[in-house]
Amino acid sequence: MVINPLLNLNMNKANIIVLLFLMMFIRPINAEPAPHIGIVEQSLGRDFGIVVGDIIEHYYVVQVPANYNLTPASLPPNGDLDYWLELLNSDYQLISENDQLRRYRLHFTFQTFYAPLDVRALTIPSLAVRFTADDNAHQIAIPAWDFTMSPIKEIVPRGVASDSTQNAFMKADLRPTTISTANLKQQIWILAVSLIILVIFWLSLNGYLFSFARSPFQQAFHEVKKLRKYHAEDSAFSQALQAVHRAFNRRAKQALFAHQIEDFVSQHPELKAYQEKIDNFYQLSAETLYSEQKKGDPTDFDQLLSLCKQLAGAEKLALKKS
């Protein structure tokens, strides 16, 4: 029959059209991969060149289903993990969570006390942390960590310069970089010389420069001469008398009083001609001490200056004769 083939052909076309129409509205279903459970990030630091006493810090970010919680008691306790390795601290922190997942940051701090004589490969053992959800438990293993330790100093010298006079394993000291101090030295010298000149000038102005070479009466002469400018002041004449008394005391090498003048002159015969003037000075000093009028007029100062000048001249003449 001719009708059947035509009917079948029309039905096939209709099926194809319906199928194409359905494919336009049906979205393809893509299967989403299951989220990774375990360590997703880690920071371990360098694994070489570690020496005795170094601190080693490891950070891990672990991911677990949202209904799982970390069991704090599952963290390894602080203490010795080996005779050369100590766990100083272990802690954790919840850093993010959503409806499906939770992320924890684990932090482990180790310290090594191994002192190798040469480069050695060592291993921090694996650890385990447990997570629980109701009656279910899931354990995540922290993998072992391999690293190398270096000695602080070689024991056996190797290489060049291994004789008995040198340490082959010690590098030569670096030559220090010197700073030029020529300009600084020049400035210091200029300042020092200037200071010395100023001090000498000041000593010269104040009569101290050659005081050690002067006779006591020469020094008294200069002191009285300075005080004469202030003769109107109450204490000026008293200070002038004291200056002359100090000269007599220095010459006698003791405190010289009026009743000792005769013995003093006999010990210093160059002053014999001025004994009367010396007596007059002591009398003037006593009168000034016990009088109400303490001021001296310029003639009193001139009398002291004349006495000091004559006594200093007599000493100088006696020194030349000797």
* 318 vs 148: CA distance, rounded Å: 97
**CATH code given to domain 38-149:** 2.60.40
From 314, 317, 303, 318, select the one nearest 221 (Cα to Cα): 303
What is the value of pTM for the model shown?
A: 0.41
Q: Is the pLDDT of residue 230 over 60?
A: yes
pLDDT of residue 71: 93
Q: What is the pLDDT of residue 75?
A: 95
Q: What share of the chain in percent tops pLDDT 90?
A: 36
Residue 256 Cα distances to 244, 251, 279, 307, angstroms: 11, 9, 12, 16
Domains in the chain: boundaries: 38-149, 200-314
Cα–Cα distance for residue pair 171/241, rounded to 1 Å: 78
Tokens of 157: 């010298």
Residue 171 has what pLDDT?
A: 66
- Asked whether the predicted pLDDT for residue 82 surpasses 90, the reply is yes
| pLDDT tens, residue by residue, 121-166 | 999 999 999 999 988 999 999 999 999 999 887 555 555 455 555 5
Q: Three-state secondary structure along 28-65?
A: CCCCCCCCCCEEEEEECCCCCCECCCCEEEEEEEEEEE
pLDDT digit string (tens) for 254-290?
888 888 888 888 888 888 888 888 888 888 888 887 7
Lowest mean pLDDT among 159-168, 173-182, 221-230, 253-262: 159-168
pLDDT band, very low/low/confident/very high, at 298 (cuts 50, 70, 90): confident
